[in-house]
Amino acid sequence: MQYEKLFDALNNWSEDHYDEKEFKKKNKGKTFLKNLPSDKNYLRELVLKVIRNYGSEGDPEAELPEMLLSIRLLINKGLKNQVNKLIEKAMRLGEETEQYNEMLVINDLLLKFYRMSPGEAPYDAKQIEQMDKDILDRIMLTRQALYLRTHIAEIQAGAQWQSREAEARTIMDSATSLSAKPHLPKRAELSLLNVRQIYMIHYHQYQECLDITADWLSKIERSARVFDYSPDQYRVTLSNYLHSALRSEKLDLLPPAIAKIKAIKTNKDKDSAENFRVSAMYEMIYIINKEKFKEADTALAYIEDGLKKCKRFISEPQLVFFRYNITLLFFLQKKYDGCLNHINELYFLSGRNESYSHTTTITRVMEWMCLYSMKNFAVLDSSLRNLKRYFADRQLKNIFFDAMFELFNSKLKEAGMRPASVDKIKKRISESNPPKEWEELQGLVYNWP
């Protein structure tokens, strides 16, 4: 009862941060304060044990170790007649989920069983030895594939493609060669696919990446339980597929792949957050690019809910990405009030961080266009001067930016009337050929009414 009372007191603690002195002061006279340090430690272990047991339900990675403990206990207690069925079940689960290290432990237990009672053991020593060799071969293949994936990921993360070009080519050749081997473990097959995806995406071989991923998905998804134990790898594969589809401008391929990511089952909060992040990111990109604005409200509700639930797993740059695209979606729907609200949130997030200057620049232009579209002429003149000064500080002066300011000035002078010069200026904007990073801004300004 004292542990229950201590749990309730801690659970009902209303302050942002736990403070031992304040906690004791608030609960002065309570019996559970007598051995508080040791009782807290015991309670922590008890809660963790409950969470572990709760989280292990339906999780093969947690289920198999539990079965191994039961097999060990039965053998040690001499209950040999109950061991065989459990061993067979554990071996099937280990094979299904490719938990090869645990399968080696099963073989250790089989050897122990065989030494104790050769006549009752399901396998003899030679059979167990051969099983060990088969498992070790699969472990080696899986490890080889994993290291190839790790090395190509290092090259990608460090942007070292130029300095390690020969190594990247060797990694790609090794992955292609290993992929051709028959009866590859699923995890090895998936790691090798990821190697080839990363390489192809870097070298803009998007169609090739789409083809190998589509082939692999059609084959692998026929197996019902294949990805119950590796949701992260399945998500990475689908994420690369989405990236290739986007780069290949095959946007209609996005919704089915997004739905697959949303359907991935996971027991871990971090995996759930990653599933949300990737699916929400591409869903928003799809809606914006295909102008599926009828789907926007449902998607935004899902995204806002997900951002609240997964906030601790989402980095600041990812959060800025979401806020920017939400802002853009409001702007494209001509919901200028909502757009301005999200612009303020975006400014708060990005602050003076120069790494977000590209996003901030486009946002400032959107803000001005929102104010104009809402006919808030009182602040537009000073806003335009501030905008011009902001761009000058960043040395953003070229044909495109000059034409854009001429357009804004022309709009402002007419106070909402459309002068004949607007069409000519817009033509100059469309023909200004700005650097690639400003093409999105060019489209926003040119298509603005």
Give the type of residue at 3.
Answer: Y
What does the block give as tokens for 359?
Answer: 């996003």
Domain boundary among 92, 123, 138: 138
CA 134-196-243 angle, to 5 degrees, is 130
Domain boundary among 123, 138, 153: 138
| Structural domain contains residue 392 | yes
| Structural domain contains residue 56 | yes
pLDDT at residue 56 in the model: 54
Domain boundary among 119, 138, 157: 138
pLDDT at residue 42 in the model: 82
Residues 6+ apart with CB under 8 A from 379: 371
What does the block give as tokens for 409?
Answer: 């000035």
Handedness of CA 398, 399, 405, 408 (dihedral sign): negative
Domain membership of residue 371 as a residue range? 349-449
pLDDT at residue 308 in the model: 92
pLDDT at residue 226 in the model: 52
Q: CA 286 to CA 226: how far, in whole Å? A: 28
| Structural domain contains residue 39 | yes
Q: CA 140 to CA 163: how far, in whole Å? A: 29
Q: How many domains does the chain divide into?
A: 2
CA distances from 159 to 154, 168, 216 (A): 8, 12, 27
- Written as one string, the DSSP assignment of 108-131 is HHHHHHHHH-TTT-SS-HHHHHHH
| Structural domain contains residue 428 | yes
| Structural domain contains residue 47 | yes
Per-residue pLDDT of the chain (449 residues; tens, 9 = 90+): 777 888 888 887 776 677 788 888 888 878 778 788 888 888 887 777 776 665 555 566 677 888 888 888 888 877 767 788 888 888 888 888 888 989 999 999 889 888 888 888 888 999 999 999 999 999 999 999 999 999 999 999 999 999 999 999 999 999 999 999 988 888 898 899 999 999 999 999 999 999 999 988 887 777 655 555 467 778 888 998 999 999 999 999 999 999 999 988 887 888 899 999 999 999 999 999 999 999 999 999 999 999 999 988 999 999 999 999 999 999 999 999 999 999 999 988 887 788 888 999 999 999 999 988 988 877 787 888 888 888 888 888 888 888 888 888 888 777 554 445 677 788 888 888 888 888 888 988 888 87
pLDDT at residue 417 in the model: 45
- Written as one string, the DSSP assignment of 187-237 is HHHHHHHHHHHHHHHHTT-HHHHHHHHHHHHHHHTTSTTTTSS-HHHHHHH
- Written as one string, the DSSP assignment of 304-353 is HHHHHHTGGGS-HHHHHHHHHHHHHHHHHTT-HHHHHHHHHHHHHHHTT-
Handedness of CA 26, 30, 32, 33 (dihedral sign): positive
pLDDT at residue 55 in the model: 52
DSSP 314: S
